[in-house]
Chains A and B, each alone.
Chain A
Amino acid sequence: MSAAFWVWFGIAIYVAAGLGIALMARRRLGGGVSEFFLANRKVGGFVSALTYSATTYSAFMMIGLAGLTYRSGVGALGFELTYLCGMFMMVFFLPRFWLVGKKYGYVSPMELLSDRYQNKGVGATAAILALVFLVPYGAIQLMGVGYLMNGISQGVIPVIAGIIIAVVCAIAWSSIAGLRSVAWTDAFQAIIMITVSAAVLGVVISSLGGFGSFFDRLESAVPGLLTVPTAGGAWNINMFIGLALPWLFFLISNPQVSQRLFIPKSVTAMKQMLGGFLIFGFIYTLISVLWGFSATLLVPGLENPDLATPTLLTLPIIPTGLAIVVMIGITAAAISTIDSILLTLSSVWARDIHKGLINPGVSEKGQLKIGQWVIPIMAIIAFVFAWWVAEQPGGSLELMISPLAAAASAGLLMAVPTIFGAFFWKRGTALGAMFSMIVGAVIVLVFQITGWKPLGWWPGVWGFVVCVPLFIGISLATKPPQNKAEEFIGYLRGALKKGRFI
């Protein structure tokens, strides 16, 4: 039987299992917006940890990050671990999001901002930011699946076919039972992701003579990739900060993950979610980077580094069955991220744009209906973007998966001062929030499109250094929603003390 047959067979099993889990989740689906988008805030610690992990870690890990490591070395590890270090901020933000979510009934992070700043325009601005910048991020997941299936089937399955499969699964997982089906399928997919990637790395490292021999070979074959800046000039400080800064604040800037902070059913579940995720992230990052390094030894000289993983998986040292399972693991990583993005965008559209701006009187049923329509529409937009990027010539750093992911997060970074202000600064105002987000996002978009990097600083850095003083300056010059700020931050102060949060 050909590799293509086994690829299709593996996909069929995966889709059937995912569909079964999603349909099981549907049996528990209740009514209402909070139920559909947040599983009624009653998700246990184990599933919370796995859905958070699967949503955060996507195709960019075993394809994009591995490709970045392959091309540019150890700086990729520092870049990705900066994100994980940023998760330290969860000790501040997780209890705060969770407490106010329960008290005020927020469904999306944008709703929180609208209420805190007493202006629906703030939530709508953040929502538009998410809609604009999450499309490329969602598209990256689709590209990852396309490249992978194409590589493992040795070109028999076209990239576009992989992209279509990912789109259809993501629409199904997110539509069948909302967050319940997304969380359950995420949990299933997270387990696949980490176990199969660890297994295949073990096989590759064994074939290289174990860790000691692997490290020795790296040090003698590609010593320039083990330091920063690398011998080829990558990972100068500007590049590192440009890529890592948006990643550092990913936990609050990306609504598909910050929305997860509303879902744990208890403090114990929150602790399990955070602890489980930190362990998962640490292991998965090391696996992905070591995987990329192993590709530099085993398949050197590839023009497009995003093909390092698919090419490595076709080597004879990896049994075909294991390669197919790894492909499914990476596909799972991609789909578990894009379905969460679709679900979050649908909630943002239904709650913050439709209800917030267009039709404030819309019923919960109406919001759900709109949200369910938005899921396929967003999926199609991401699909078109992915298709376009996949058609571009490979090898350009700007079109690699990891830089595209960081570029998307660079736009979302512009909401960070507003989010900090909501929790920590009573003087923050709606005008400061909206103006800083809009100007910052325009700067990021213009610099991203033109490729302009004054002083060598990347678009996200420029956007951030402009939007922070804008938020502070305009807020100081305008009148804050004093009563709401006192009530919101005052409530948190008391509640945080009760739970021994800091």
Chain B
Amino acid sequence: MSKLAWAWTWFAFLLALNIAIPWFVLTHVEKMIGAFLFWTIWVAAAIISAFIIFLKWKEVKR
């Protein structure tokens, strides 16, 4: 699988978690360590993965 396909797959996986965890796993957890903590960690994972990808970019000579 190409890097592009991997990146899209990872993104789709993150989006699936976005619904699955808060509505089906944490729906009865009425605490800050429930959906609030999940979404904070979840978006941190998305941000870190974006950093991993874009820090490899290099200048393009034209």
Contacts and interface: CB of A to CB of B under 8 A. Distances in A.
B47 to A, nearest CB: 5
Interface of B: 3-4, 7-8, 11, 14-15, 18-19, 22-23, 26-32, 34-36, 39-40, 42-44, 46-47, 49-51, 53-62
B36 A226 contact: yes
Given A229-B27, A248-B15, 15 more contacts: A74-B36, A77-B40, A78-B22, A81-B40, A84-B43, A88-B46, A88-B47, A95-B57, A218-B32, A228-B23, A240-B19, A240-B23, A241-B19, A498-B60, A502-B3
A85 B14 contact: yes
Q: Which of A88, A218, A275 has the most CB of B within 10 A?
A: A88
Interface of A: 74-75, 77-78, 81-82, 84-85, 87-92, 94-95, 99, 102, 215, 218-219, 223-224, 226-229, 237, 240-241, 244, 248, 266-268, 270-271, 274-275, 278-279, 282, 286, 495, 498-502
B44 A282 contact: yes
Contact of B35 (A91, A227, A275, A286): A227
B57 A102 contact: no
B50 A90 contact: yes
A186 to B, nearest CB: 22
B11 A88 contact: yes
Given A77-B36, A227-B28, A237 B59 contact: no
B58 A228 contact: no
B24 to A, nearest CB: 10
Contacts of B47: 84, 87-88, 278-279, 282
Contacts of B15: 85, 248
| Chain A contact residues, majority secondary structure | helix
Contacts, number: 125
A266 B59 CA distance: 7
A210 to B, nearest CB: 14
A99 B60 CA distance: 9
Contacts of B57: 95, 267, 270-271, 499-501
Given A91-B53, A226-B30, A267 B58 contact: yes
B19 A91 contact: no
B35 A74 contact: yes
Q: Which of B19, B28, B36 has the most CB of A within 10 A?
A: B36
B60 A87 contact: no
A219 B46 contact: no
Contacts of B55: 271
A218 B15 CA distance: 28
A81 B39 CA distance: 7
B28 A215 contact: no
Contacts of A279: 47
A440 B49 CA distance: 32
A222 B53 CA distance: 40
24 contacts: A74-B36, A77-B35, A77-B36, A77-B40, A84-B43, A84-B47, A88-B49, A89-B11, A91-B7, A92-B4, A99-B60, A219-B31, A226-B32, A226-B34, A227-B27, A237-B19, A267-B58, A268-B59, A275-B54, A279-B47, A282-B43, A499-B60, A500-B56, A502-B4
Contacts of B49: 88
Nearest to B50: A88
Contacts of B7: 91-92, 502
Contact of B46 (A84, A99, A270): A84
Contacts of A495: 60
Contacts of A88: 11, 14, 46-47, 49-50
Q: Which of A87, A223, A224, A274 has the most CB of B within 10 A?
A: A274
Given A91-B53, A275-B51, A85 B27 contact: no
A268 B54 CA distance: 10
A68 to B, nearest CB: 14
Contacts of B3: 502
A10 B46 CA distance: 38
Contact of B18 (A85, A226, A266, A500): A85
A279 B47 CA distance: 8
Nearest to A216: B32
A95 B46 CA distance: 18
A39 B61 CA distance: 21
Contacts of A85: 14-15, 18, 42-43, 46
Contacts of B26: 227
Contacts of A81: 39-40, 42-43
Contacts of A215: 32
A224 B31 CA distance: 9
Contacts of B61: 498
Contacts of A286: 40
A286 B7 CA distance: 26
Q: Which of A90, A91, A498 has the most CB of B within 10 A?
A: A91
Given A228-B35, A502-B3, A274 B50 contact: yes
Closest 3 CB pairs of A and B: A223-B30, A85-B46, A81-B43
Contacts of B32: 215, 218-219, 226
